[in-house]
Amino acid sequence: MTEATGAIAALPRALADYPDVVGGLMQTLAARMSLEPFNIIATAIFVLAIVHTFAAAAVTSAAHSVQHRHDEALRRQGQPSSPSVVAELLHLFGEVEVVFGLWALVLLGAMTSYAGWETARHYLNDTVNYTEPLFVVVIMAIAATRPIIALAESGLRRVASIGRGTPAAWWIAILMVGPLLGSLITEPAAMTICALLLARQFYDLQPGARLKYATLGLLFVNVSIGGTLTHFAAPPVLMVARPWGWDTAFMLGHFGWRAITAIAISTTLYYLAFRSEFGTLAQRSPAADVDQPDEDAPNTALQPIPAWITVVHVGFMLWTVVNAHYPALFVGGFLFFLGFTRATAACQSRMELRTPLLVGFFLGGLVIHGGMQGWWIAPLLASLSEFPLFLGATILTAFNDNALITYLATLAPNLGETAKIAVLEGAVLGGGLTVIANAPNPAGQALLSRFFDGAVSPVGLFLGALVPTVVTGIVFRL
């Protein structure tokens, strides 16, 4: 290995390259910071990105204020309104999906200054794995198409019909059944379907702010734990299934039935808490739900969806799920899918790619930052006993993607079986507390943010997710 090659491979330093340190956690972290000072820089930038994420709503509000003052100034001068450059920049900085990508540029600049461009380029291009962000973009785009949503809506309508199809019945059906689909078609697909159906059947009725946030928090928690029925669909489960030898039977026996129980209890509690408001919503008429035709459609009237088109869409979705770890296959399949949707444009609604691309950008930035945090997360997890490990994984998940937490847990030596279970329980338990806690959350937020004045409050989301998180924690620890 040449000197240049060795320099390129220096960041992040492999966890196995850190020497064992006599002492506790603080001594270990101090030794690692001393051995690799860039650890401090990378983590400081990551913390700033998290702070920026929580401040995004305030930045967006400031953008509206700046634009309003700009319009007033132009009006007084007798000039027509025009976008303010400052307001547009603030809008950009207030987009939650853009935050981690922006701070990835800061990390790239810091890494280049510290170790050179070759090292920074090697980290971004050869070290970071972008498979999950790419997968989320593709599965979101497919899951949001008219045939898939119509199929899901048809199935859930049968469940909602038990409650006479009222808003409460739809709400319960979507939040109880929808998240469990994450164990089969992956959590991002389940999140996309649930969010779009909640928009149609619930949020369009303009519920109060407390119920809005309670629903969003419940959705995030339920999707996070709803993927634990199998060993192959949820990212945090995938990270540990092979190293720890867990199969679907194990997942069902240790996590699945508890997840179903927690989803049922949490959803029921929120329904009872807001029962009177659901009664009010039942008297309102939802906004007309008109799908926009595909731009290649021969006319503006959408045609009924033939069954064979739905079958083909489901086939493309299954292809994407089965090949979720092989970008060349699922991205290639997606390109064929785009061709198919154009050929059947008369039956397709307009394909929305902006939201999936923004979510993919968010997750791409998150994995760039997350890849530099193993130096402190891995020894922290290894230093905790079972119950502190459960709580620690829950708290860490609120500020890191839960798949990163479970992956780093596989690197911790000598974890017992109960400790392994505690890690995964904590990781999926905390998956609804913040938008960055679970990979599908940015998708849900992006699809529903228009019902929250364009920006979801981190505090409101946390409070909305708190009750189902506590309920799930109790059920998991039984």
CA–CA dist 279, 83 (Å, integer): 42
- In 3-state terms, what secondary structure has residue 414? coil
Statement to judge: residues 416 and 284 lie in one domain: yes
CB contact at 8 A, 143 and 192: yes
Strand partners, 293: 349
Statement to judge: residues 96 and 240 lie in one domain: no
Statement to judge: residues 104 and 164 lie in one domain: no
Statement to judge: residues 98 and 229 lie in one domain: no
- In 3-state terms, what secondary structure has residue 412? coil
Nearest to 169 by CA among 257, 287, 275: 275
243 located within any domain? yes
Number of domains in the chain: 2
Strand partners, 349: 293
12 located within any domain? no
Range of the domain at 70: 37-127
DSSP state of 21: -
* Last residue in a domain, options 127, 143, 174: 127
Q: Give the per-residue pLDDT at 2.
A: 38
- The two most distant CA atoms of the chain are separated, in Å, by 73
How much is the CA Rg of the chain, to the nearest whole Å?
23
Residue 283: both structure tokens together = 């008297």
Please name the residue that has the structure tokens 């928009």.
199
Statement to judge: residues 192 and 250 lie in one domain: yes
369-390 average pLDDT score? 90
Which of residues 478 and 395 earns the better pLDDT score?
A: 395
2 located within any domain? no
Residue 116: both structure tokens together = 């050179």
Statement to judge: residues 395 and 362 lie in one domain: yes
22 located within any domain? no
Cis preceding linkage at 12, omega within 30: yes
29 located within any domain? no
* Last residue in a domain, options 127, 154, 179: 127
Q: Give the per-residue pLDDT at 295.
A: 57
pLDDT band at 3 (very low <50, low <70, confident <90, very high): very low
CA–CA dist 430, 462 (Å, integer): 10
pLDDT in tens, 106-135: 999 999 999 999 999 999 999 999 998 999
Other residues' Cβ atoms within 10 Å of the Cβ of residue 362: 27
- In 3-state terms, what secondary structure has residue 293? strand
Residue 460: both structure tokens together = 């409101």
pLDDT band at 342 (very low <50, low <70, confident <90, very high): very high
pLDDT in tens, 35-49: 999 999 999 999 999
Statement to judge: residues 201 and 103 lie in one domain: no
25 located within any domain? no
Please give the torsion angle defined by the CA atoms of residues 293, 299, 305 and 309, in that order, rounded to the nearest 10 degrees. -90
Statement to judge: residues 120 and 84 lie in one domain: yes
Statement to judge: residues 183 and 53 lie in one domain: no
Which of residues 473 and 304 earns the better pLDDT score?
A: 473
Statement to judge: residues 82 and 162 lie in one domain: no
15 located within any domain? no
Of the chain, the percentage scoring pLDDT greater than 70 comes to 95
CA–CA dist 105, 351 (Å, integer): 30
* Last residue in a domain, options 84, 102, 127: 127
Statement to judge: residues 413 and 471 lie in one domain: yes
CA–CA dist 190, 195 (Å, integer): 8
pLDDT band at 81 (very low <50, low <70, confident <90, very high): confident
Statement to judge: residues 61 and 148 lie in one domain: no
What is the pTM for the complete model shown? 0.84
How far CA 275 is from CA of 144, 171, 282, in Å, comes to 30, 12, 11
pLDDT at 296 over 60: no
Q: What is the mean pLDDT of the chain?
A: 90
Q: Give the per-residue pLDDT at 207.
A: 95
331 located within any domain? yes
